[in-house]
Structure 1
């Protein structure tokens, strides 16, 4: 562990430096406050031995600045017997302990070891808190999610790839974050890539980077997100939307832990854990040849399926309360409550949009509320009356059924393409049809669609 000595007396610097190096510590030294503060900025430091009498700044000021830079930094002050009051004041400002001059070597070593032990415990506690935050952000009460959480706890410490499946809005990204936080990689980066929202022609360079001049517009080299995630976790959402070409390159990264940037010649090695998610049926995509079988089995080492909200309705009260508290605090309404009647309506609804839809409904109610209680009147019509469907209007002189059906189909397809950014494969998933079927309907109905599949 690294110890910084800030003292303007060369003899004391020499004595302390020799003593601590003999005990196996790495020692760096500064003779002024300014030099010491600069070293703390430049090098990770575990403990500082700080003289309270420095030539350029008062030691108490330096102590305060050190603690501002790193609240967990252990600072031991060195003081003359005549200024013990200053040492006590330093301890009030966060100093770990003080050593009076002249000191005994064993006293210094003992104090330093105790301080470094505190530093180690603080570091371990911080890492534990970071890991627990992932689970703390998940809200559940019933057995359906309980079994999912248990699987997450068991799978997270491993290096294995994980495939998260489930409908849209079930919380796959939140679960991926929990897996990362519970893994040994928690201190590393967590990089999220929604592959379905990245244009197909840019996805490969987004994931693997490119060299300067690799394609039109590549005016400078750029690191890919796999390289950014080195030492941590990368989360690929909507994995079923990637093209066969990108699938092949992804397979190489998983197998060899290396890739070649677009337009490059040299391989880049990475140590990344992969978590993928999909709401599509990858088995069916393998069967119809749109998803590589070898990649599927590489991703499918551990599969965790998130249940839809309609299958875990026992969690709705806790989820609603969580969203109500959070949205209330964000909107300056911290004391809102959900009426029993409104909760009954939430429990009766089937939530096709799952947890994300419930969150949106609660946020809407909070924004529109004027009192302390969220009643049924603040819930949207589709939640209050889920079975109510407006009867179609038939003109007195009749209607062309085929044209009406085609117009309605065209409107649905155009709306889906618009929501999916023109990506036909995603629109097909949204409409629950095969991509080839959607493509044929687009041609038959004369829909102008820029196919970015």
Structure 2
């Protein structure tokens, strides 16, 4: 996210933030849990900013992107000539964070052969660069995040149990966006304004029907998906009101709540200004027909109604238009 802090009105997120700020003043190791795109790195940065180390480096290690052949060197550093191709000395990412915060993003993807070396560093506080004979003391605060179930990975032998228990000192969990519908309106407004400024476009606004649709959507990509949607809309719908028709082509069909019932924990929040129910129904009818290439039987199935009911509703809207 581009905001300097997590944008939220969700009690679940606010509880995680309150715990994070309480622990930020210490050097305790924090493990941030949550699906991809829920804002785990943003929370890690917030913790760093609220800590006594805020004026020191914040270094992110993307464990999923570490090349297996160079991972140890990238983390722990190497001397010149330590291996073929080591034409210059490299202190490594851990040493680069000295005095500050080191954030291991997607720690569950850390190569298995590096896990005992990371554990030793967490226990001892020093590193041994490739080519050196004496360890180097490093003073950093470690944060980690994952979308994986590390306990299940321990049980399957793909993650070390001792490293898991060392990391799992203060676990904080960020809920998926589908469980915090109350944040969708404020997040959409923030990102639409942000990208309007960035791309020098007139700012777009959401219609009530569009907001209702977004609040029933399951958001498989979480805040990252919402952010990308807002950038798209801020350019293609610059200065205009955003309607459901503008949204449906960009949303995953399987994540649209078009069945007859919506689970209790996914019910949308009615906007303060209310909605035009006929307008929303008309949008959904046409969207379902468009998505099924005019097949009324399949369109009716998407909406959880019979074909006769679909025809009746189309006829109703045709007569009133």
Note whether the superposition's TM-score is higher than 0.5: yes
* SS of match in other structure, 2:189: helix
Tell me the residue number matched to 1:116. none
Distance 1:189 1:370, change over 3 A: closer
Deviations 1:73-117 (Å, cap 9, x if unpaired)?
A: xxxxxxxxxxxxxxxxxxxxxxxxxxxxxxxxxxxxxxxxxxxxx
Identify which of 330, 348, 357 aligns with 2:198: 330
C-alpha contact (below 8 Å) 2:202/2:238 kept by paired residues: no
Distance 1:369 1:201, change over 3 A: same
Distance 1:256 1:384, change over 3 A: closer
Structure 2 matches for 1:84-163, cutoff 5 A?
A: 136-163=4-31
Distance (whole Å) between structure 2 residues aligned to residue 358 and residue 194 of structure 1:
22
C-alpha contact (below 8 Å) 2:203/2:238 kept by paired residues: no
Distance 1:368 1:136, change over 3 A: same
Distance 1:370 1:176, change over 3 A: closer
1:217 counterpart = 2:217: no
* SS of match in other structure, 1:186: coil
Distance (whole Å) between structure 2 residues aligned to residue 179 and residue 262 of structure 1:
31
C-alpha contact (below 8 Å) 1:162/1:304 kept by paired residues: yes
* SS of match in other structure, 2:27: coil
Distance (whole Å) between structure 2 residues aligned to residue 371 and residue 239 of structure 1:
42
C-alpha contact (below 8 Å) 1:200/1:242 kept by paired residues: no
1:199 counterpart = 2:199: no
1:235 counterpart = 2:103: yes
Deviation at 1:252, TM superposition (A): 1.0
Give unpaired runs (5+ residues) of structure 2. Answer: 259-287, 294-321
* SS of match in other structure, 2:88: coil
Higher mean alpha-carbon deviation, 313-322 vs 374-383, is at: 374-383
* SS of match in other structure, 2:60: strand
Alignment size in residue pairs: 258
Distance 1:361 1:288, change over 3 A: same
Structure 2 matches for 1:243-254, cutoff 5 A?
A: 243-254=111-122
Identify which of 177, 186, 199 aligns with 1:318: 186
Distance (whole Å) between structure 1 residues aligned to residue 3 and residue 184 of structure 2:
18
Deviation at 1:380, TM superposition (A): 4.2
Deviations 1:211-236 (Å, cap 9, x if unpaired)?
A: 11222211111111110000000111
Tell me the residue number matched to 1:129. none
Runs of at least 4 residues off by over 6 Å: 388-391
Find the structure with the greater CA-based Rg. Answer: 1
| TM-score (normalizing by structure 1) | 0.55
Cα RMSD (Å):
1.9
Deviation at 1:384, TM superposition (A): 7.9
C-alpha contact (below 8 Å) 1:161/1:274 kept by paired residues: yes
Tell me the residue number matched to 1:276. 144
Deviation at 1:375, TM superposition (A): 2.5
C-alpha contact (below 8 Å) 2:203/2:239 kept by paired residues: no
* SS of match in other structure, 2:158: coil
